[in-house]
A and B are shown apart, each in its own frame.
Chain A
Amino acid sequence: MTFDVFLILNSIPTMIEGLGITLKLLFLSTVIGLALAVVTLLMRLSGHWLLTWPAMFYIYIFRGTPILVQIFIIYHGLPQFEFIREGVLWPLLREPFGCCVVALSLNAGAYVSEILRGGVLGVDRGLHEAGKALGLSTPHRFIYITTPIAVRLAIPAYSNDFISMLKATALASTVTLMDMTGVARTIVAKTFAPYEIFIAAAIVYLCFTWTFQRGFGLLERYMSRYVKKDA
């Protein structure tokens, strides 16, 4: 078996062409996902069954099924319905890109809301009581005490989820999108060199994973600046 290092190096610039779609998918779905996660979290914390049950149902469904299956259902399944094709979301769901953003966002929303909930539950009860004793209202306590501490506690898990999302964007190539993996597949079809090309793709993904991990590491360090370091 031959192994062509130059092919790896040469294919990387072409691969970068798919980077735009990969990053767009990643950032759109993490931002929308985060918004969904916050709404879902507030529903879960509301303590009212009319809000908690739908939130739990949503989380259960999206955490319980593979993202690939969700993408297929949204991309292949939804257009079967007349009301979808005539609905306001059709321009979005007609495009594979839109479908992927929807699937990935819904997924992120479910996972991240659980991650944030873990952070919220990790906030010391004594701090709530101190806030109450000072007369702070529930929204004030949530915004000024719970949130900053919960965010700090949630960063490590969130950083993992963010990187999972980066990798999950590769699934977009299964519905014809030309993200990085999609581009890699077309190069493979032309060069018949799957080994080198996919290694090149892996290298690009690794570079981004490393960068994001490092970014989150710095963020975590900043957010933890007030925590006593054990000697």
Chain B
Amino acid sequence: MGEEARVPIIVLEKVCKFFGQFQALKDIDLVVNKGERVVVCGPSGSGKSTMIRCINRLEEHNNGRIVVNGHELTGNLRDVNAVRREVGMVFQSFNLFPHLRVVDNLMLAQKLVRNRGKAEARERAMHLLERVKIPEQAGKWPSQLSGGQQQRVAIARALCMDPAIMLFDEPTSALDPEMISEVLDVMIDLAQEGMTMVVVTHEMGFARSVADAVVFMDAGEIVESNPPAEFFQNPRNERTRLFLSQILSH
């Protein structure tokens, strides 16, 4: 990305989130520019999921500002809907609709949210299934697919909505090791096409090869944020170093 093209598309300013008394996010500042890929890592319970779930308002933040593609997230339903139309999300547990066949999983929101006709929605669905390399699974139930295939369907389902931003919350953590790469490959393709991505993952190889920035979180705070080369070779913070030594040792 050229320097001149830096357009902030996700902005978090001093974002705080409480669950009752417990503070899950502490003054989070994060800027993601258009076309950037940000990888978020950190120990379990550090607030990674909470942070990206605030970006499409699956969680409501309590303090600070979140602006996504020009819409500030407040209590205003219209802004929430506008943001969700522009932000796709992929979950650790796939969350495909079990009662809909694969192709219908991809068509439902297109018809209801984008008001696309059946033929158009189907065409778009098939196009994206081809892109994630499983068009032959279109007529199956999600339960008949392997984990890796289900996650690729979930990615295709989000892409059907033509999002400007894609959020991934540990997309490969629930997968058997031999299926991880088929999902990462799809994500790498997506990154190469210039999609803005925020990816919570511990796949450091992925971070190295596609990330513009790696963010390390601990105890609800962003401890360190740097380009991957710097992040891996020169971790500044003691907590980052400890985390990296643990995660890279196996």
Residues of A participating in the B interface, judged by any CB pair closer than 8 Å: 124, 126-127, 129-137, 140, 144-145, 148-149, 152, 225-228
Q: Give the shortest distance, in Å, between A127 (CB) and chain B (any CB).
A: 6
Q: Give the shortest distance, in Å, between B144 (CB) and chain A (any CB).
A: 7
Give the contacting residue for A148; candidates B99, B112, B157; CB below 8 A.
B99
- The 5 A-B residue pairs with the shortest CB-CB distance in the complex, in nearest-first order: A130-B95, A134-B109, A228-B143, A133-B89, A126-B95
A152 touches B58 (CB 8 A): no
A148 to B141, CA, bound (A): 15
A130 to B150, CA, bound (A): 14
Find the A residue at minimum CB distance from B98. A226
Q: Give the shortest distance, in Å, between A163 (CB) and chain B (any CB).
A: 26
Given contacts A134-B84, A144-B108, A228-B144, contact A152 B161 (CB under 8 A): no
Q: Which B residues from 37 to 87 make CB contacts under 8 A with A?
A: 56, 58, 81, 84-85, 87
Find the B residue at minimum CB distance from A127. B95
B84 touches A145 (CB 8 A): no
Given contacts A226-B141, A228-B143, contact A133 B108 (CB under 8 A): no
B113 touches A136 (CB 8 A): yes
A133 touches B158 (CB 8 A): yes
Q: Give the shortest distance, in Å, between B86 (CB) and chain A (any CB).
A: 9
Find the A residue at minimum CB distance from B57. A132
Q: Give the shortest distance, in Å, between B23 (CB) and chain A (any CB).
A: 22
A130 to B155, CA, bound (A): 11
B144 touches A136 (CB 8 A): no
Q: How large is the interface on B (under 10, 10 to 19, 20 to 34, 35 or more residues)?
A: 20 to 34
**Apart from the given pairs A133-B56, A134-B88, A226-B143, 12 other A-B contacts in the complex at a CB distance below 8 Å:** A124-B95, A130-B96, A131-B97, A133-B87, A133-B158, A135-B113, A136-B108, A136-B109, A140-B113, A144-B108, A149-B99, A225-B141
B113 touches A134 (CB 8 A): yes
Residues of B within 8 A of A148 (CB): 99
Find the B residue at minimum CB distance from A126. B95
Q: Which B residues from 119 to 164 make CB contacts under 8 A with A?
A: 141-144, 154, 157-158, 161
Residues of B within 8 A of A135 (CB): 81, 84-85, 109, 113, 161
Question: Cβ of B93 < 8 Å from any Cβ of A?
Answer: yes
Residues of A within 8 A of B231 (CB): none
Q: Give the shortest distance, in Å, between B102 (CB) and chain A (any CB).
A: 11
A145 to B104, CA, bound (A): 12
Give the contacting residue for B93; candidates A126, A133, A136, A149; CB below 8 A.
A126
B95 touches A144 (CB 8 A): no
Residues of B within 8 A of A145 (CB): 97
Q: Give the shortest distance, in Å, between B108 (CB) and chain A (any CB).
A: 6
